[in-house]
Amino acid sequence: MIVQRFMGRHGTAQLMAGIAVGIAAAIIVPDVPGIGDGLGLRTVTVALIYSLAGVAAAVLYGRLGLVSIMQVALVAVGGWATLRLHYLTGLPFEVVMVLAAVLTAVIGTVLSLPALRLSGLSLAIVTLMIAGALEVITQYFGFPNGGHGFAGYDTTGVAQTMPRPWLGHSDPAFFRYVVVVVLVVMVALWCVLSARPGRTWAAIRQGDAGAIASGINVTAYRILALAVTSAVTGLAGALLAANSGVLDPISFKAQQSVLLFATVLIGGAFSLFGAVIAGLLFYAFPQLLTSWGVNGNLVFVVLGLGTVQAITTTPTGIAGQLGGLWQVVRRRLSKKSEAHR
Amino acid sequence: MTQLSISGLTVRYGGVTPLDSVSLCFDSGVCGVIGPNGAGKTTMFNVLSGFSVPAAGSVELDGRQLLRVAPHRRARLGVRRSFQQEQVIRTLTVRENVLLAAEHSGAPAASVERALTYVGLEDAHRKGSELTVLERRLVEIARCVVGTPRLVLLDEPAAGLDPEESAHLLELITGIPDEVDALVLLVDHDMDLVRAACKEVAVLDFGRLIAFGRTRDVLASAQVRRAYLGVTEDAE
């Protein structure tokens, strides 16, 4: 059952295993030949950053049943806020990152307010339209590059780039920096999902009537979910901005949000681990195809087929399948050890 | 002692009037609301719990106007309900299901254990998806009795249960007023359950109140037998 697997993913043992894998990845990956140098490491870093946007979409869909197709647009909002606040205040990156997350939470929530009473296809279309609108806005204003005025965009002078945080100047150091941020966010989300908000969101996903009868203010908790997930997405934008120092509007097209949601379904919308797989599928997989000399647009075909397969046969996604596989292996191992005794 | 006064309650959906000027007064114990399908029983529950807005009428719970209170706030006032299609949250454990209701109705966490003990679900670590029909009904009752409920609305709690399970449910339902001092309104088509559980019963037919009084008297009334039980005087 989907639900059993969903809750299984959130056990303490799984969380500890996830943290251990994250720490091991932070130590090992930068030294792995072929991945740990140059383009490979930068690709994995960006994929990890996008896993934050993926986990936001996964929480909205897996916990509340809300289909939000504007996560990549909110990444752009987070990136824009980070660059603008950096050039405006000169504060340390960590402070700017938190402020950008708060700003994205406010903007994401306000943008979603008209959609609060919607669900399913209607909500998907409305959020996609918002993503389209944000795409137009970022293309019009551009991303701040040290210029003056509200937009902070200078087309005449020499564009500046935002420096990386002092703890993550080199590529390996920045990769580790991102791993730490992703782990902190995942643990924080796990705590939220295991506590009252998580229980309440589960009730809302089951049905508004039952939730209201239990005394739940459905609107307030939907707003809370939108704020939390928008903040997490804003963090992704901040890390992306820090990664390259500049951002290009072409990276944040509305269709990217559709692609991210598809990868979340394939990776597994009912688990935090699924979001990491989604990030890799969303960003690293197209890069892998390109490195093999395959047309990058083929990713739409592959992910389209993957989405159909996930929806029809494996709603828990790759993460759910891996979880199921692990359970089978464990059962067999325990049977063997009992037989030896 | 809880008192519920319903006065001139009317609900209209376009040209349909599922409730038509219904006036009733219940006080403490277990009371029944019966009638054929489409009589307006669930509509009445929907109005009491805030899911439907009436076109006219008023509802007072212990002297407080209920219709002005937002649906989710009614749980804090002690209005609890179960549904025909039970609403146990599949992804949460039994305990979490009850804890959720306690958290949002302002009940202390200690009352969760008391509610679980009352319904006999001490093994509360199983998920909602793993429960039998009876166990799901029990979880719904536990959610209704957690904390300090004043009005418990049970909508066809015996649906899908066998006679033995219904007997167990009857024991729990009749015990609620003593356990938490709440008024229980019961809607069910199981007449044996209604007869055994309810001291008073109201009968609705096409949205109108056609009888109200002591259960034995009402169920013996010729009008009720004709409208609901399908018994004609000739057949008798």
Q: Are B176 and B184 in contact (CB under 8 A)?
A: yes
pLDDT at position A155, please?
A: 75
CB within 8 Å: B83 and A213: yes
> How does residue B229 score in pLDDT terms, banded at 50, 70 and 90?
low
CB within 8 Å: B49 and A6: no
Q: What is the mean pLDDT of residues B214-219?
A: 91
> How does residue A8 score in pLDDT terms, banded at 50, 70 and 90?
very low
Paired tokens of A216? 């739940």
Smallest Cβ distance to B49: which of A3, A205, A213? A213
Half-sphere exposure (Cβ direction) of A314: Cα atoms closer than 13 Å: 20
Question: Looking at beta carbons, which residues of chain A come within 8 Å of B73?
Answer: 215
| Mean pLDDT, all residues of chain A | 88
| Mean pLDDT, all residues of chain B | 90
pLDDT at position B234, please?
A: 54
pLDDT at position A3, please?
A: 37
User: Is A8 or B4 the better-scoring residue by pLDDT?
Assistant: B4
Residue A105 CA to residue A64 CA, distance in Å, equals: 17
Q: What is the CA radius of gyration of chain B?
A: 17
Residue B115 CA to residue B101 CA, distance in Å, equals: 11
Using the predicted structure, report yes or no on whether residue B6 has a pLDDT greater than 80.
yes
- The three-state secondary structure class of A140 is helix
User: Is A338 or B128 the better-scoring residue by pLDDT?
Assistant: B128
Q: Scanning every residue of chain A, which has its alpha carbon at the shortest distance from the alpha carbon of B152?
A: A213
Q: Most A CBs within 10 Å: which of B87, B91, B129, B144, as the mutation test of the A interface?
A: B91
Question: Looking at beta carbons, which residues of chain A come within 8 Å of B100?
Answer: 196, 199-200, 203, 214, 216
CB within 8 Å: B83 and A210: yes
Q: Most A CBs within 10 Å: which of B48, B81, B89, as the mutation test of the A interface?
A: B89
What is the per-residue pLDDT across A80-116, written as a single tens digit (0 to 9) for each? 999 999 999 989 999 999 999 999 999 999 988 877 7
Residue B186 CA to residue B156 CA, distance in Å, equals: 7
Chain centre to alpha carbon of residue A36: 22
pLDDT at position A291, please?
A: 83
What is the per-residue pLDDT across A178-219, written as a single tens digit (0 to 9) for each? 999 999 999 999 999 989 999 999 999 988 888 998 999 999
How many CB pairs below 8 Å do chains A and B form together?
Answer: 75
Q: What's the structural domain count of chain B?
A: 1
Q: Scanning every residue of chain A, which has its alpha carbon at the shortest distance from the alpha carbon of B145?
A: A214
The CATH number assigned to the domain with range A2-340 reads 1.10.3470
- The three-state secondary structure class of B172 is helix
Q: What is the mean pLDDT of residues B9-16?
A: 91
Is residue B1 packed enough to be buried (19+ CB in 10 Å), middle (13-18) or exposed (0-12)? Answer: exposed
> How does residue A148 score in pLDDT terms, banded at 50, 70 and 90?
confident
Please enumerate residues of A whose Cβ is less than 8 A from a Cβ of B. Answer: 1, 3-4, 6-7, 196, 199-200, 202-203, 205-207, 209-210, 212-218
> How many Å lie between the alpha carbon of B78 and the closest alpha carbon of chain A?
10
Residue A64 CA to residue A198 CA, distance in Å, equals: 9
* Helix (H) or strand (E) segment spanning residue B179: helix B163-180
Count the Cβ atoms, other than its own, within 10 Å of residue B133: 13
Question: What pTM was computed for the model?
Answer: 0.87
Q: What is the mean pLDDT of residues A207-235?
A: 93
Residues in contact with A88: Cβ distance below 8 Å, sequence separation at least 6, in sequence order = A152
Using the predicted structure, report yes or no on whether residue B150 has a pLDDT greater than 50.
yes
Residue A135 CA to residue A147 CA, distance in Å, equals: 20
Q: Containing domain of residue B160, as a range? A: 3-87+147-229
pLDDT at position A157, please?
A: 66
Smallest Cβ distance to B91: which of A3, A215, A217? A3
Smallest Cβ distance to A3: which of B80, B106, B127? B127
Smallest Cβ distance to B104: which of A202, A206, A214? A214
Q: Where are the domains of chain A?
A: 2-340
B98 within some domain: no
pLDDT at position A96, please?
A: 96
pLDDT at position A228, please?
A: 96
- ipTM of predicted complex: 0.87
Residue A187 CA to residue A181 CA, distance in Å, equals: 10
Residue B69 CA to residue B73 CA, distance in Å, equals: 6
Count the Cβ atoms, other than its own, within 10 Å of residue A136: 11
Residue A86 CA to residue A254 CA, distance in Å, equals: 26
pLDDT at position A5, please?
A: 40
> How does residue B232 score in pLDDT terms, banded at 50, 70 and 90?
low
pLDDT at position B231, please?
A: 64
Q: What is the mean pLDDT of residues B143-172?
A: 92
> How does residue A72 score in pLDDT terms, banded at 50, 70 and 90?
very high
Residue B188 CA to residue B155 CA, distance in Å, equals: 7
Q: Are A263 and A303 in contact (CB under 8 A)?
A: yes
From the list B176, B182, B187, B181, the residue with the least C-alpha distance to B151 is B182
Smallest Cβ distance to B87: which of A3, A209, A217? A209
pLDDT at position B233, please?
A: 54
Buried b (16+ CB within 10 A) or exposed e, A148-176: eeeebbbeeeebbebebbeebeebbebbb
B123 within some domain: no
> How many Å lie between the alpha carbon of A211 and the closest alpha carbon of chain B?
8
> How does residue B225 score in pLDDT terms, banded at 50, 70 and 90?
confident
B135 within some domain: no
Is residue B232 packed enough to be buried (19+ CB in 10 Å), middle (13-18) or exposed (0-12)? Answer: exposed
Residue B161 CA to residue B193 CA, distance in Å, equals: 12
The CATH number linked to B22 is 3.40.50.300
Residues in contact with B36: Cβ distance below 8 Å, sequence separation at least 6, in sequence order = B205, B227, B228
Helix ranges (H only) for A195-297 are: 196-206, 208-213, 218-244, 254-267, 272-279, 285-291
B32 within some domain: yes
Q: What is the mean pLDDT of residues B122-143?
A: 91
Q: Most B CBs within 10 Å: which of A5, A196, A214, as the mutation test of the B interface?
A: A214
Residues in contact with B7: Cβ distance below 8 Å, sequence separation at least 6, in sequence order = B23, B57, B58, B59, B60
What is the per-residue pLDDT across A268-303, written as a single tens digit (0 to 9) for each? 988 888 888 999 999 988 888 888 888 878 888 888
B201 within some domain: yes
Using the predicted structure, report yes or no on whether residue A6 has a pLDDT greater than 50.
no
